Amino acid sequence: MELGAAEPPRLSEAIDVLEKHLDSRVFLVGQRFTLADASLSCSLHHFQTKGLATQLPRATKRWLGTCTAHEAFSVVTGTASAPAAAASGASASAPAAPFASAEPLVARYSSCVGGRTHIARIVSSPDKGASLIGQQVSVCGWVKTAREANKGAILFVELNDGSTPNNIQVVIDSKAKGFDSLKGQCGTGASLRCTGKVVQSPGGKQAVELLVVDADDAVVLFGGVDAKEYPLAKKHHSHEYLRSIAHLRPRSNYIGCVARVRAALAQATHEFFRSRGFLYVHTPLITAADCEGAGEMFQVTTMIQDMEKEGKNSLPKGADGKTDYTKDFFCKPAFLTVSGQLSVENYCCALSNVYTFGPTFRAENSHTSRHLAEFWMIEPELAFANITDDMDCAEDYLKYCVKYAMDHNREDLDWFDGQIEKGLVARLENLLAEPFGRVTYTEAGHSMLEVLGML
Amino acid sequence: MELGAAEPPRLSEAIDVLEKHLDSRVFLVGQRFTLADASLSCSLHHFQTKGLATQLPRATKRWLGTCTAHEAFSVVTGTASAPAAAASGASASAPAAPFASAEPLVARYSSCVGGRTHIARIVSSPDKGASLIGQQVSVCGWVKTAREANKGAILFVELNDGSTPNNIQVVIDSKAKGFDSLKGQCGTGASLRCTGKVVQSPGGKQAVELLVVDADDAVVLFGGVDAKEYPLAKKHHSHEYLRSIAHLRPRSNYIGCVARVRAALAQATHEFFRSRGFLYVHTPLITAADCEGAGEMFQVTTMIQDMEKEGKNSLPKGADGKTDYTKDFFCKPAFLTVSGQLSVENYCCALSNVYTFGPTFRAENSHTSRHLAEFWMIEPELAFANITDDMDCAEDYLKYCVKYAMDHNREDLDWFDGQIEKGLVARLENLLAEPFGRVTYTEAGHSMLEVLGML
């Protein structure tokens, strides 16, 4: 670009030169934001302020976004570095994300890979990663999708590490160290470490992306995947199909979101009860008591194995012709509990407010949605309390859990809202906004008869 | 007391009058601290400052302590209200108690009993209850010990509600409402609500006690106990004996302390892992996989019950003469898991760092201390990590848990130190103070041979 030439080059030609230069570089000179970037980006800044940035080519647009989001830019232009954050739709009053900015940038216990950053710490932080622009970070995870561009010179990878349902877009240039190892190995499910620089994303889908392009950037393939052989695709899979690949299904969006929300609700449960002075009690699972008299229990025994080991055909019998349980492990019939209630009530009558949170079992062959064979159940027991105290506790607990999930797992809930149950988030917001209605048993019966048209 | 009489009465006579007056009253006039208390207690204050307070009779000493601990006292004497707090041995830098002063005085979900205060909120708060002196509170709980005094006119009750191993001493005067209902019913284990005023305790054992003495104080008996019939006494009981009264053993100091520490360690576990970005995963307990190949598994079946219901003598057999598991609940042999590791590893390879915390089972008939038939186990899985990361995590986790228990359960640990294992607290303090030693497998083997005298 010769300025002051007899006939100055057209702007579009200058932009072409710039685009070509930036195609394999994060900044104009070297590995960091310099005066060169500040100076040139100021000249081009009016493109952005006039809303013309979308007309700039890809690399130039990304570079300009990265520059104007940089803290140093405000020193030059006298403006705050707000545009990037504002553009991402984040605000200071955003609810606490699971990986708030207070979270260290480098995750603990990741020295093995030279220190990795949780992907949520970037894309799910309140500013959607804007404050990290220009920094070099390493992320590890599994490929959700990968596609080539520029005749194989660039690889676009959506990487996920489970810390958020959202992926980080990684742009890997063929000049980056380790690029060649990805050839034919970077299908969905491949395990990678990507070290690159956080830059403003030219696309509207995400605020930032990771650019692996320079000599000091690198990609490491931990485990390659041949896309043709991999049983999980980008498309929707049925729950039944996912059950047939139980070892891989946690990698589906569905199970991932369920796992994150379930973990959050378990945490909320413990926080809620402990903050109110309830003691957590582990009640026995193997029991001789049929707590609720339901009778649908699984038996726990070592007698069948003993019988099979000895090559016998029948279980030991007593003189009365009945099964001789003195030969069983516990010397009497033993079952899996259908409820921890009986045990935890003993604790309640000694230590006042307590709760259990553990697995429970029902051998119901009905295959209805009523009870799974195995499920986790929360059973609080309140001492010196009546039904009103109990209802207050139940309402507070439900609202605490919903609020916790809304604050910490909004991205997961948004995914459920979009893919599984439209209107979910609005329904949860309504649950938080309104006090619960309370009716007597008689009123409830009356309402039901009305709905059934029997009144 | 006529002041200015020709021959002024001896001080001891005046004290006698005061003692008789205060024997059935918390304050000199009415139900609250008045100018009368402030004025007279200032006159007697020099007894306290000169260390002569121990020579005062019981009620007077308690009243004087209550007055001088009162905030208003400093207005009159110009001194701070520190003595009570200082006397109790508490300091501002005391570790966070589970029921810190931030905890509301009236516990949630206790409207049924007119609002109760957790006993820990009083006796285990950093100032040991000093700031509550003069306030009326209600406590509910179970009698640890009760003894009569003054020919049955006063009942001293040690009450516990499980929120702390320490009891609150309740002094119930025969003039208090409900006193008569306690006759013969207030043995160890009786369930009570006591409404009275927090006063300075004249004894050295506790900083404050609860005085149930006035017309607006009351005691309510929820469940009486005839001391002769009750299987738990103040004395030490063996673990074997406690096992034979499983429904009552949570009321023993031993099981109470274990329950509180166990609940705290569970909470610490969840806090530790969640704050470091680990997801909590519930892995299946009923499984067809023998995770560690140990083989010592419990079988889960409904076949024996089916056989017994049908009056048959043997389990269903297939054409090959072997047990026909297609007739069992899961249509194949099913067992209780010996480890959640296999399942949680699948989650780790999809969502990175995860952990399980749940029950595990071993059908080992050896009755060694190695494995219980049923126990809870924590299994973290780290992604993108090596053995050094793993060791860092293990050391951090152990220290976090011990620190948590030391901060929140110091009273329980002190009880263990005194009753079960001398030197426990010092050993835990040492664990927190020193970095863990790390040796190779070879070095560990060498050390062991040295200890065994084989080198």
Query: Concatenated DSSP letters for A93-130?
Result: TPPPPTT-TTS-SSPTT-GGGT----HHHHHTSTTTTG
Does any CB of chain B come closer than 8 Å to the CB of residue A366? no
pLDDT of residue A389: 96
pLDDT of residue B225: 93
Which of B112, B120, B384 lies closest to A113 in CB terms? B384
Token pair for A372: 């799974």
A341-395 tens-digit pLDDT? 989 999 999 999 999 999 999 988 766 666 789 999 999 999 999 999 999 999 9
B280 falls in which pLDDT band (50, 70, 90)? very high
CB contact under 8 A, A250 and B346: yes
Q: Which amino acid is at A341?
A: Q
Average pLDDT over residues A393-421: 96
Fold classified for B259-297+337-433: BirA Bifunctional Protein; domain 2 (3.30.930)
Q: Which residues contact B172 (CB under 8 A, 6 or more apart)?
A: B154, B155, B156, B157, B179, B182, B194, B196, B212, B213, B219
Domain boundaries B11-77, corresponding CATH code: 1.20.1050.10
Q: Which of B384, B391, B395, B396 is nearest to B351 (CA)?
A: B384
Instruction: Tell which wins on pLDDT, B66 or A365.
Output: B66
Please give the torsion angle defined by the CA atoms of residues B122, A384, A347 and B194, in that order, rounded to the nearest 10 degrees: 40
B9 falls in which pLDDT band (50, 70, 90)? low
For chain A, state the CA radius of gyration. 30
Could you tell me how many residues make up chain A? 455
Does any CB of chain B come closer than 8 Å to the CB of residue A314? yes
The kind and range of the H/E element at A429 are: helix A424-433
pLDDT tops 60 at residue B2: no
Label residue B163 exposed, middle or buried (CB < 10 Å: 0-12, 13-18, 19+).
buried
pLDDT of residue A304: 92
Does any CB of chain B come closer than 8 Å to the CB of residue A315? yes
Domain boundaries, chain A: 11-77, 108-223, 259-297+337-433
Rounded to an integer, what is the distance from CA B339 to the centroid of its chain? 31
pLDDT of residue B75: 65
CB contact under 8 A, A263 and B276: no
Q: Which residue of B has its CA nearest to A279?
A: B263
Cβ atoms of residues B179 and B221 within 8 Å? no
Mean pLDDT is highest, among A29-38, A400-409, B67-76, B225-234, for: A400-409
Average pLDDT over residues A70-90: 53
Cβ atoms of residues A65 and A201 within 8 Å? yes
Give the C-alpha separation, B39 to B73, whole Å: 9
Cβ atoms of residues B38 and B73 within 8 Å? yes
pLDDT tops 90 at residue A42: no
pLDDT of residue B189: 94
Average pLDDT over residues B424-432: 97
Does any CB of chain A come closer than 8 Å to the CB of residue B276? yes
This model of the complex carries an ipTM of: 0.85
Give the C-alpha separation, B160 to B144, whole Å: 7
pLDDT of residue B176: 92
Give the C-alpha separation, A70 to B186, whole Å: 73
3-state secondary structure of A365: coil
Q: Which residues contact B378 (CB under 8 A, 6 or more apart)?
A: B269, B355, B356, B357
Q: Which of A20-34, B6-20, B403-417 has the lowest mean pLDDT?
A: B6-20
Token pair for A333: 């019939």
CB contact under 8 A, B313 and A313: no
**Which residues on chain B are in Cβ contact (under 8 Å) with A353?**
107, 109
Which of B303, B308, B376 lies closest to A282 in CB terms? B376
Cβ atoms of residues B204 and B234 within 8 Å? no
Report the 3 state secondary structure along chain B.
CCCCCCCCCCHHHHHHHHHHHHCCCCCCCCCCCCHHHHHHHHHHHHHHHCCCHHHCCHHHHHHHHHHHHCHHHHHHHCCCCHHHHHHCCCCCCCCCCCCCCCCCCCCCCCHHHCCCCCHHHHHCCCCCCHHHCCCEEEEEEEEEEEEEEHHHCEEEEEEECCCCCCCEEEEEECCCECHHHHCCCECCCCEEEEEEEEEECCCCCCCEEEEECCCCCEEEEEECECHHHCCCCCCCCCHHHHHHCCCCHHHCHHHHHHHHHHHHHHHHHHHHHHHCCCEECCCCCEECCCCCCCCCCCEEECHHHHHHHCCCCCCCECCCCCECHHHCCCCCCEEECCCCHHHHHHHHHHHCCEEEEEEEECCCCCCCCCCCCEEEEEEEECCCCCHHHHHHHHHHHHHHHHHHHHHHCHHHHHHHHHHCCCCHHHHHHHHHHCCCCCCCHHHHHHHHHHHCCCC
How far is residue B321 from each of residues B106, B301, B308, B310, measured CA to CA in Å?
67, 19, 20, 20
Q: Which of B127, B193, B171, B139 is nearest to B22 (CA)?
A: B171
pLDDT tops 90 at residue A284: yes
pLDDT tops 60 at residue A204: yes
Give the C-alpha separation, A148 to B95, whole Å: 58
Does any CB of chain A come closer than 8 Å to the CB of residue B245? no
pLDDT of residue A129: 92
- The dihedral sign for the CA sequence A308, A312, A313, A318: negative
A331-341 tens-digit pLDDT? 999 999 988 99
Give the C-alpha separation, A251 to B383, whole Å: 14
pLDDT tops 90 at residue B444: yes
Q: How far is B335 from chain A (nearest CA, A)?
A: 9
**Which residues on chain B are in Cβ contact (under 8 Å) with A389?**
109-112
Mean pLDDT is highest, among A191-200, B59-68, B89-98, for: A191-200
pLDDT cut 70: percent of chain B above it:
87
Q: Which residues contact B426 (CB under 8 A, 6 or more apart)?
A: none
Q: What secondary structure letter does DSSP report for A229?
A: G
B22 falls in which pLDDT band (50, 70, 90)? confident
How far is residue A292 from each of residues A299, A301, A381, measured CA to CA in Å?
16, 21, 16
Average pLDDT over residues B289-295: 62
**Which residues on chain B are in Cβ contact (under 8 Å) with A163?**
277, 351-352
Q: Considering chain B, what is the average pLDDT of its residues?
A: 86
- The dihedral sign for the CA sequence B45, B49, B50, B56: positive
pLDDT tops 70 at residue A86: no
pLDDT tops 90 at residue A94: no
Rounded to an integer, what is the distance from CA A365 to the centroid of its chain? 34
pLDDT cut 90: percent of chain A above it:
58
Which of B163, B222, B304 lies closest to A301 in CB terms? B304
Beta bridge pairs of residue A146: A157
Q: Considering chain A, what is the average pLDDT of its residues?
A: 86
Beta bridge pairs of residue B199: B209
- The dihedral sign for the CA sequence A263, A264, A265, A267: positive
CB contact under 8 A, A353 and B109: yes
Mean pLDDT is highest, among A73-87, B21-35, B187-201, for: B187-201
B88-123 tens-digit pLDDT? 433 333 344 444 446 789 999 999 999 999 999 999
Interstrand relation of A279-280 and A354-361 (parallel, antiparallel or unpaired) = parallel
How far is residue B162 from each of residues A353, A386, B22, B169, B440, measured CA to CA in Å?
9, 19, 32, 14, 45
A291-343 tens-digit pLDDT? 555 568 999 999 999 998 888 878 998 888 889 999 999 999 999 998 899 89
CA angle A389, A394, A400 (to 5 degrees): 120
Q: How far is A385 from chain B (nearest CA, A)?
A: 5
Fold classified for B108-223: OB fold (Dihydrolipoamide Acetyltransferase, E2P) (2.40.50)
CB contact under 8 A, B313 and A314: yes
A6 falls in which pLDDT band (50, 70, 90)? low
pLDDT tops 50 at residue A196: yes
Single pTM value for the model: 0.84
**Which residues on chain A are in Cβ contact (under 8 Å) with B340?**
none
Does any CB of chain A come closer than 8 Å to the CB of residue B353? yes
pLDDT tops 70 at residue A420: yes
pLDDT of residue A294: 57
CA angle A277, A408, B95 (to 5 degrees): 35
